[in-house]
A = this chain, B = another copy of it.
Amino acid sequence: MKHIVWDGDYADRAIFEDILGQLGALLWFTGLSGSGKSTIAKALQKKLIQCGTYVVVLDGDNIRHGLNSDLDFSESGRKENIRRIAEVAKLFVEHGAIVITAFISPYKSDRNSAREIVGNGLFKEIFINTPIEECIKRDPKGLYKKAISGEILQFTGISDPYEAPDNPELAIQTINLSIEESAEQIVTFLKQNGTIQ
C-alpha cells in the first residue's frame, strides 16, 4: 500500500488523486442512440484499467436500474436524470476518479447544468459524432425502426431534437473509425491534457 503523508482534517480531491496516482476528470459523452457511446466508453475503460487507472463508467445499466429507477422519461424526469448523473459523477471525480458518463443527454441546457455542477475544468464534453443515417442503419436495439413507425414517441433524432455540442472538448467522428481507434483518440486527448501519463 502507498503511504500517504497527510495530516489535514478534510480529505480533498488532491489527496485521492495522490492515492490513485492520476487526476480526476469527467468525460461526458453525448451522442445519438446507437452512436457508440457505451461501447466506446467500455473500450476506453478497458484500455485505461489495463494501465492501472481507476475509471468508472456510468451508463444506463448501473444508473437507470438503480439510483434513477424512480424516474420516468417526461421532461422533468429526463432533467432530473441528468442532474443526478452529474451529482454522482462529481462525487467520484472529487474522489480522484476518471468518470465516463454514457447518456444521450440531447439538450445543451442539461449538459451545461452538468458542467456547472461538476466544475468547468473537470468536465470534458466528448461528442460521439455518428451521423443519424448511420445510427438508423446500425439500430442495435431496433429502436429507430419503432421510432420511425411511430411505435415509440419522442425519440431523440427522430421525433425529439438532438442538440449537438457547439464547442465540445473533443469530437469523435466515429464513421471511419473502429471502436479501438475511437477509444485511442480519447486516450491521446487525456495524455495531451495531462489527465493520465
Residues of A within 8 A of B (CB): 1-6, 9-11, 15-16, 19-21, 42, 45-46, 49-58, 62, 66-67, 70, 80, 84, 87-88, 90-92, 94-95, 97, 117, 197
Q: Is the CB of B52 within 8 A of A4?
A: yes
Of the residues B9, B11, B54, B97, contact of A57 by C-beta under 8 Å: B11
Residues in B neighbouring A53, C-beta threshold 8 A:
1, 19
Residues in B neighbouring A70, C-beta threshold 8 A:
80
Given contacts A11-B45, A57-B11, whether A4 and B50 have CB atoms under 8 Å apart is yes
Residues in B neighbouring A67, C-beta threshold 8 A:
84, 87-88, 91
Residues in B neighbouring A16, C-beta threshold 8 A:
54
Q: How far is the CA of A53 from the CA of B58 in the complex (A)?
A: 23
- A53, closest chain B residue (CB): B1
- A8, closest chain B residue (CB): B46
Per assembly, the copies of the chain total 2
Q: Is the CB of A46 within 8 A of B1?
A: no
Residues in B neighbouring A20, C-beta threshold 8 A:
54
User: In the assembled complex, how far is the CB of residue A45 from the closest CB belonging to chain B, in whole angstroms?
Assistant: 6
Question: Which 9 A-B residue pairs are closest in the complex by CB-CB distance?
Answer: A2-B52, A1-B52, A67-B87, A66-B87, A1-B51, A56-B95, A4-B50, A4-B49, A4-B52
Given contacts A49-B19, A87-B67, whether A62 and B94 have CB atoms under 8 Å apart is yes
Q: How far is the CA of A186 from the CA of B142 in the complex (A)?
A: 51
Residues in B neighbouring A49, C-beta threshold 8 A:
4, 6, 11, 15, 19
Q: How far is the CA of A97 from the CA of B122 in the complex (A)?
A: 21
